[in-house]
Each structure stands twice: as structure tokens, then as C-alpha cells.
Structure 1
Amino acid sequence: MMRWDRPAGGREPAAAALLGWLSDAQAPHVCLVSGSEGCGKSALLAWLVHHGSRPGGLAERTVHAVVPPSPDESVLATVWSIADQLGVVARAPWELVPVLAADGRRTVIVLPDVRGEAVAELVLALAGVPGIRLVVESRLGSPAHRLLSGSGCAELDLDLGQWRDEQRFAQWQASHGSQHVVAGMPKPKAVVDLWDPVAVCRADASTVTAAYERARRGEYGGLREAWLRAGQSLCRDGDPASRALTLLAALGDGADPRLASALAEAAAASAWCWEWSRVSGDLVPPWPGPVSALAVGEGPLAGAVLVTGPSGSVRVVRMGDGGARGRIAVGSFQPQSVSVLADGTVLVLDEAGRVHADGSWVARPTGSGIARLLDEGPTGREVLLAALRDHVGTAIACAAGPDLGVVAVGDAAGEVRAFGDWEGAAVLHGGRVNALAALGVPVGSEGVVPLVYSGGADGTVRAWSPGHAPMAAPLAERDSAVMSVDAAMTQSGPALTVAWGDGAVEWIEVDTGARRTFRPGPPVRAVALALDGRLLVGMDEYLVCLAPGSRAQPTPEGVQRRP
């Protein structure tokens, strides 16, 4: 049996009560640790975090997230800290609550020194999520305490004598002299120039977030809006260059133009080079709208990116600058996945998983009309499209081949099926296929070999070549669902990009395993990879194009698995 570490200052009764509350399935979801200043609230919470973070501890006592105390209390910084530690993405309380509700796992969150009503209201919203337990420290008489103490939560008032062993407290006091039981609040942070993009990239993130949260829309030349747009990424522990890149990617065209040049210079040492962004509200070129799926154009659509979203159409934008090149009307449905055949045929999946084809960009066949009439049979393209229409899927991808190419379609049961020049099927995941990418890989005298990359809800990316067994080990794996994948045959060999449900985007050199990571901040809906290695990342509010910089990561970014 693991030894129980005693808390300092004779607080064994309070510690035992906390552990009992954690183990009681019928207890209120919030435990309020209250009392006057200096009574030992912070020390008790520090003990709980230490006790609940030890390897091999009891599952019901495990602490999963701790919000760092800050003199600048911010609801958004609190949301981003919780989301980041739990491996999810949330832009605001309205998004964090349903995301954690969908997760469903038991989760213990500790919030030290909660003072204001806004964070207390967030606590009450989270308390309604099944599986969530919250330990909240709040001083007696504070607005947060007044709101929470009347909400039906459990409360440990450390001013009451029942929560301290007086004999052990006297022994502790004798051995520690006049030291206080409680750890003091962090010292106030230095004043930050909120107009200076370089300064905010180097400053304490919670301080900047709280200041921008209090500011009015339109203040600080557009820097405030970019920070709040990308906030969860900016509040992670990151170097100033990576923060500058993230902030630059979220900057709209209405911002002070001096901000972009300063941020580009500050981001020079990051793993990526920023090419362009199209942000909600941009006019020149216009923002193409929210992104649900992306695809790099082929054939007549070469040099373009196809962008789908809730508008019920596919927008065609230029790879070079994100400017508009055209639009494809696909009907009244909402496109879920998009890909392009080598001849420019656009394939789109609707909400029900049915394939729709658009050939408006395909070159017209040559030859006389009489010759076409004498050829009574359907073309290979027509046969392929007919086969696809009979299949229901969750993701689609195309790759070039010796004739028609190959089309891969994944389904909700984890199976991927290939159509076209190569045919076959394989079960790659223990659940839904969320995303697919396909490549025609040149292999010596064999010409082209098809390679399909599949990303699943099970948090793995797997490779399969139709006609062969799938690779036994996943190419990439995280404790998070795959949201999107794409692949390209670049000058340095095959490259893969993966968007994960925890907000990370990884660019992987398949042959070497070298990786680059980008976290834009908001939930990533789709990624696309061009032949020259440029990466496109699509979100609800902006689309950004990056090129690889000089610094790559040799090993993948790890994620701690939660029980």
C-alpha cells in the first residue's frame, strides 16, 4: 500500500475530508476550500496536487488539471489552461463545457485562489458536467465565495477548528518558527506594453490575456483580436519566436501593418515561415469562410486550394496568396470531405457520406461528335464514379495512377476501400475513419505504387497500400482523435501532415521521421499539403499558409495519457 504523505500544519483532518469527498460518488461536484487569509488554503491544495500527481496513486484521487494562480484573474486564461492540460481545444467557456461533456472521463480540476464571479460562474457551469470534480480555493467574503458557498457545493472552512489537529500544528509551528502555513500569491507581473507585439510574445501570457480581456474591441491596432483568437496556443509554455508566428497567423488585414512586419521578424527563428493568412473580416483578398475540409488542386485546378465549409459550396482559392479563383456549387448539402482527381474532377462527401462529383473544371474530350457516339460503353471515369456513388463513407482521398488513379473511401467501422486503378479493402482503425490522404509513389520499374494514409478517431495514423497488408505499427499516435490528414511527394520525399483533436498540427517527413509542430490555438478543422511542402491549416475563423523553416523536431511531441 502506498504511504499517505501527511499535509503540513496539522491539516490531516481537512486532507482526509478532501480524499473522502473525491472517493464519494454521491458527493457534490465542487469542493470549496475557504477561510481567511493565511489559514492554510493554498498549502492544503498544494498537498492535494502533490498527492494526486504521484505515479501509481488511486484513480479517484488523481488530479488532472491545475490552473496556475495569477494576480490577474482571467476567465479565458482559465479556460485555456484547463483545456490544454486535458488535451482538448476550447476558445471560451461555451466551448469547454460541451467538449468535456463529450469526453466523459472522470476529471479532477484544481483552481487556486478564485476571487471573481466570472471564474466562479465557469466553475458552476463545469460542475454540471458528469465526471467533473472541482476543488476551488476562495477566501471568505470574496465575490467568488459568496456565489459558490450558496450553490450546494461541499465546503471546507479552514477557519473552523475541526479541520486542524492542534497538537500536530503546535509541533509543526515549533519546528518551523514563524513561517506561514500558506504559500503566498505570486508577485504581480511587470507592466506590459500591449501595443508592442514583441513585448507581448515575451510577457506572462495570463497577464496579457487578462488585459486584453478587459480592453474594448478594436483597441491595440488589431493585436488584441489576434491574441484572443489564438489564445490557447499563446498561453502554452513556448518560446517567443513560436508565439510570434502564432500571433502573426491570427492577424487580420485590418490590423496596423507595422504589427505583421514586427511579428515576422520576431518569428524568424521558429520552425515555420508564415506565407499568408485569410482571417474572418478580411477584404483584400476576401476571407473564404469557415473551413470544414481542404484539398490541393490537381490538373486544371493545379496551384489552387479547395475550401469547403458550411456555405454549401466549394471555394477555389489561389495557393500563392489565398485570393479567390472560383466557386463550385455542390447543392444544398454541407460538404464534409473533398478531394480532386488528376483530371480535375472534384469529389465531395455530403453529411450522409454520399459521393458527389463535379467536372466543371475538367477539359472537354477531343475528337468528333460522331466518334464519341460510336463509343457506346461508359468511360472508365463514369464507371469509377458510379462505383463511388454506391458507397457510403466518412472521408475521401484521391491519388494519381497509370490511368484513372485511385480513390480511397473510409467508413464509420474503420475500413478503408480503394477504387480505380487499384482495388481492395482493409480495416485500419478500431472506430471511425476521420480523414484520408493518398499518394502515387514512384517505385523503380514498377512505375507508381498507391499509398493511403488513414487517420482515425482512435488517435492513430496508419499506412496501407491496396493489395498489401497494412503496416503493423501506426505512423503517428496520440491520446487524441485525428481530425485531418494530407500527404504530398515533396523534393525530400513523402511528407505527411496531421491535425489532431488537441489542437496540434504535425508535419512529418515519412522517410526520416523528422517533425515540425504548429499550434494555431483554435480547433483545427482541416489541413492540406502542397508539393513544395507548404502547409495550409483551416479553422472556423481563419486559413493560414506556412512553409517549412530551418528548424525541425527530431521526435514527436508527446502527450501524457489520462486514465
Structure 2
Amino acid sequence: MRGTVWAVANQLGVVAGTPAELLSALLAGPPRTVRLGGTGHDAAEVAELADVLREFGHVRVVVEGPDDQAPARKPGDDEPVDTADAEAVCAADPVRVTAAYESADDECGGLRGAWLRAGQSLIRDQDPARRALVLQTALPPDADPRVRQALARSAAAAPWYMERALPGPVAALAVLPGGALVVADPGGGVRVLPDGVRQQSTATRVKAAAVLEQDTVLLLDERGRLHRHGGTGTALTKAVVATLARHPGTALAAAADVVLVGDRMGSVHAFGSGGLHQAALHSGRVTALAATASPSLAVRTGGTDGAVRAWSPAGSGHGSTVSQRPSPVVALHTGPTPEGPALAVAWADGLAELHRPGRRDVLTFRPGPAIRAVAVTAEGALCVGTEETLIRLRPR
């Protein structure tokens, strides 16, 4: 069943691992048509999922038969997949691998758990090296070292090198001026890596984090209220706290002496010593913000309209479009690297992008689970946070 759910979720641009999660994602959006079936999918699983989706009447379900234009099967396609062989599962048909792991009891050195955790990414059409990279990031801490080594060999041709994957939920990420990574978890705790101890900051669920000064981290909770972690309260932070108590925010960023907040109407508000600057930049809710202060304040904004825009509070107008996809933006971060400022973007369909200065090619990564936060380190690495893991990737 997982393989069918993942395939439909990819078709619809959402992240879901179970029929209930898929239905929840569909009910949150407008009525639409869902196409199920096709070559490689179990007919009984397709019929079961169709019944679940039709029950609520919010979607139109079309069940398709096998694809007559599907490529001819090759010798060996019907042979059992060796689920304990890391290199073999990366090269095999992902639908068959998923079915094999669903029916298996052996954890195969950690491969089974990793595949079922990251399967929505793995089931996409891609080369074995990318699958190996995704499996690397999803392995449990107690995975067999031989499995790790085999995946590292297979992932050598991927565009990323996995530096580390730390277990634990991530709600928001930020980077201190010195380069240390700030990790906020859903429970309101904050850690400064690599060696920081978790400190409880707020009792409410964290939605976004931003660094205002060397020792001041600002947190936006799920109710749109602002909290300060560390540092000393200033007239600026007190003014923003008071404003968001009356008008909740939906996104947060900070740079130099400016705090930026997004709202549900698509506007961005920049609070600073020079006054308040604001602009209507998106159609729908502002979902993510990022900012850098050097050489001048530069802001990146993201929204439910799928647009990433560049904006300067000192300028005017609606900014310029940096990127546009048919999926809401869920997280942004921009920061200095040895080559210049880089931009990380995360989308609601599970895709992370790294836009590097002076490069037209955009590096992408899909961990499988939904992405909650992204950050660019001072060395140019990409950090990706999910509800299960913090992943650090370095471009090759």
C-alpha cells in the first residue's frame, strides 16, 4: 500500500505515507482528480485506496488499467529482490523493493526502516546514486556499518556528499554570526550545534527561528507570537512582540537591526530603527522569510502561491521572482558562503533546493518525509530538517 500512496502523493505534489495522511492532504485543498493504478501497482491495493478516497466525496478518483506503452520487461525483472543488498535495492524497481520490505520482518541491517521512512523520495524515477544518498540520510543510528559503507560507495556519483544525519525532530533552523547552527524543535526547545544542550524556550510549538544579534534568537510560534531566546530585550523586539500579540505573524526573519514578519494576507513587514516598511508580495499567506545584511539588507520571501521573491525594504514595488513552482514554499534561508550569499528553499512537496551564487544549476534533494526547515552554513553546506532528522549535505 505504501508504494501506491507514495506514487499518488508525488503525482499530487504533497507528502504522505499512509492513506489517512494522503486523504488529509487532499481535504486541505480544492477538489481535484486523482488517478490511481497503472503498471506495477497491486490491483487490490489500488482498489482499497480508491474506496478510502471516494468515501469523503471531495475528490474524483479514476482507476487506470496497466499501461500498454510500458517498457518491455527485462530478464531478471521477476526475480526476487535481495533486500539485504544495499547496492541491489538502489538499482531495482522501487515498487517491487517497497512491496518486498512491506512483507519482510528482517530489518536488513537498517535498510528496511530507511526505505520505508524515505520511500516517497526513493520511489521516484532516479539513478541508483541518488537513491543511495537518500537511504544514507534515512538509516537508523544502529545500522550495520557494512550497509553504510555500501551506500557510501553507491552514492559517490550523487551531486551531494552526506556529512551527517542526526536523529531528532526539527521545527526551525537559523545560523549564528559565528557559523553555529541553531536548531529549534517542535516542543519549544533550542540547541546550538555542535555541542549545545537543549534549553526549553517556549511551551508552544515553534514555527520559525531567526538570529537578531550574536546571542539573540527569535522564535515564532504556531499561533504567530514572537518569543526571544537569549540576549536582552530591546525596544525593537518589544515592539514586534506587542504587534504580533494583536496581529499574528506567519513567517519570520531578521538581519542587522531589522525584524521581518509575514502575514496571512501576503504582506511582509520590516521593523527597524528606520521605521516600518511593508509590501504586498504574495497572493495568499507568506510562509517563509530569509534575510542578509551585507552589503545591504536583502530579503527573500516565500508563499503559498509557490513563489520565492527578492525584496528590499529600501526599494519599492513587489520585488522580483527568484523561483516559482506549483507547490507552497515552506522554508527559506540565505547566508554568506565562500562564493557569496546562497539561498536554500524548501517546498511542500518535499523538495529542497540550493541556489549558489554565480551558478545557474540548482542542486536539489528530497529526503522523503516533509521538510520543516533549511539552512545554508558558512561553508556552503545545506542543512535540511524534518520531524525525524537533521541532515547536512555538502555539494560535491
TM-score (norm 1): 0.65
1:365-418 Cα offsets, whole Å, 9 max, x none, are xxxxxxxxxxxxxxxx61111211122211111223xxxx32211111111111
* Separation in 2, partners of 1:242, 1:354: 39
Answering whether residue 225 of structure 2 is matched by residue 336 of structure 1, we say no
Q: For residue 364 of structure 2, what is the aligned residue in structure 1?
A: 517
Answering whether residue 98 of structure 2 is matched by residue 206 of structure 1, we say no
Q: For residue 230 of structure 2, what is the aligned residue in structure 1?
A: 359
* Separation in 2, partners of 1:208, 1:326: 39
1:317-340 Cα offsets, whole Å, 9 max, x none, are 31xxxxx51223223211111111
Answering whether residue 383 of structure 2 is matched by residue 504 of structure 1, we say no
Q: For residue 190 of structure 2, what is the aligned residue in structure 1?
A: 314
1:208-261 Cα offsets, whole Å, 9 max, x none, are 000001012x52010000011110111101011111111111112110011112
* Separation in 1, partners of 2:131, 2:224: 38
Alignment length, in residue pairs? 386
Q: 2:259 aligns with which of 391, 407, 431?
A: 407
Cα distance, 1:458–1:526 mapped onto 2, change above 3 Å: same
* Separation in 2, partners of 1:129, 1:338: 37
Cα distance, 1:129–1:496 mapped onto 2, change above 3 Å: farther
* Separation in 2, partners of 1:115, 1:548: 38
Answering whether residue 305 of structure 2 is matched by residue 462 of structure 1, we say no
What's the CA shift for 1:112? Answer: 4.2
Instruction: Provide the secondary structure at the position in 2 that maps to 1:458.
Output: coil
Q: For residue 438 of structure 1, what is the aligned residue in structure 2?
A: 291
1:132-186 Cα offsets, whole Å, 9 max, x none, are 22233689xxxxxxxxxxxxxxxxxxxxxxxxxxxxxxxxxxxxxxxxxx89997
The amino acid of 1:297's aligned partner reads L
Answering whether residue 51 of structure 2 is matched by residue 124 of structure 1, we say yes
Q: 1:233 aligns with which of 121, 145, 150?
A: 121
Instruction: Provide the secondary structure at the position in 2 that maps to 1:385.
Output: helix
Answering whether residue 268 of structure 2 is matched by residue 416 of structure 1, we say yes
Answering whether residue 38 of structure 2 is matched by residue 109 of structure 1, we say no
Structure with max Cα Rg: 1
What's the CA shift for 1:116? Answer: 5.9
The answer to whether the 8 A contact 2:36-2:50 is kept is no
Answering whether residue 332 of structure 2 is matched by residue 485 of structure 1, we say yes
The amino acid of 1:310's aligned partner reads P
What does residue range 71-110 of structure 1 map to in structure 2 within 5 Å?
75-110=1-36
The amino acid of 1:440's aligned partner reads A
* Separation in 2, partners of 1:110, 1:466: 47
* Separation in 2, partners of 1:267, 1:111: 31
Q: 1:252 aligns with which of 120, 140, 154?
A: 140
1:484-519 Cα offsets, whole Å, 9 max, x none, are 000012121221010001111010125443310101
Answering whether residue 157 of structure 2 is matched by residue 269 of structure 1, we say yes
The answer to whether the 8 A contact 1:109-1:132 is kept is no
RMSD: 2.3
Structure 2 residues not aligned, in runs of 5+: none
* Separation in 1, partners of 2:2, 2:175: 35
* Separation in 2, partners of 1:186, 1:207: 16
Instruction: Provide the secondary structure at the position in 2 that maps to 1:326.
Output: coil
The answer to whether the 8 A contact 1:104-1:130 is kept is no
Instruction: Provide the secondary structure at the position in 1 that maps to 2:253.
Output: strand
What's the CA shift for 1:290? Answer: 1.7
What's the CA shift for 1:471? Answer: 5.7
